[in-house]
């Protein structure tokens, strides 16, 4: 099989595609860890017990960060669940495999290849 030697394509593969795939793999691994810890530590139940609409006393009122409620964390977890489904379970239209499968073909510094 012939190889693509065009410097533009080679530089793009090494300078843009592989680094982005590495970052996506690392982000997905962090997402998966967050989901596991959220479940293992019972964060959803703790938020419910504390009143989800209540603000979290995290010091943000004094340092300029936006205040968040328990429900903000619950909604963030729901968003992460959708990202997980999109990355790991939904086939990319016209490709036939998941986004994670494509990332794993390109990444070099992340999880299992």
Confidence label for 111 from pLDDT (cuts 50, 70 and 90): low
- Res. 87: pLDDT tops 50: yes
Q: What ranges make up the beta strands (E) of 1-97?
A: none
pLDDT at 7: 98
pLDDT at 113 over 50: no
The CB density around residue 17, as the number of other CB atoms within 10 Å, is 13
Residue 14 has pLDDT above 50, yes or no: yes
**pLDDT of amino acid 109:** 86
φ, ψ of residue 91 to 5 degrees: the values are -70, 140
Can you tell me the distance from the alpha carbon of 106 to that of 7, in angstroms, rounded to the nearest whole number? Answer: 18
| Contact indicator for 25, 104 with CB cutoff of 8 Å | yes
pLDDT average, residue stretch 79-93 = 97
**110 has pLDDT over 80:** no
pLDDT tens column, 21-38: 999 999 999 999 999 999
The residues pairing with 55 across neighbouring beta strands, listed in sequence order, are 69
Q: Burial, 43: exposed, middle or buried (Cβ in 10 Å; 0-12, 13-18, 19+)?
A: middle
């Amino acid at each position: 099989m012939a190889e693509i030697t065009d410097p533009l394509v080679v530089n793009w593969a090494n300078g843009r595609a592989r680094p982005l795939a590495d970052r996506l793999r690392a982000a997905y691994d962090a997402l998966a860890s967050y989901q596991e810890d959220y479940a293992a530590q019972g964060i959803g139940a703790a938020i419910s017990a504390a009143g989800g609409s209540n603000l979290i006393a995290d010091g943000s009122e004094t340092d300029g960060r936006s205040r968040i409620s328990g429900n903000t964390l619950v909604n963030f977890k729901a968003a992460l669940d959708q990202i997980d489904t999109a990355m790991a379970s939904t086939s990319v239209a016209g490709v036939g495999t998941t986004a994670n499968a494509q990332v794993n073909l390109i990444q070099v510094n992340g999880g299992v290849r």
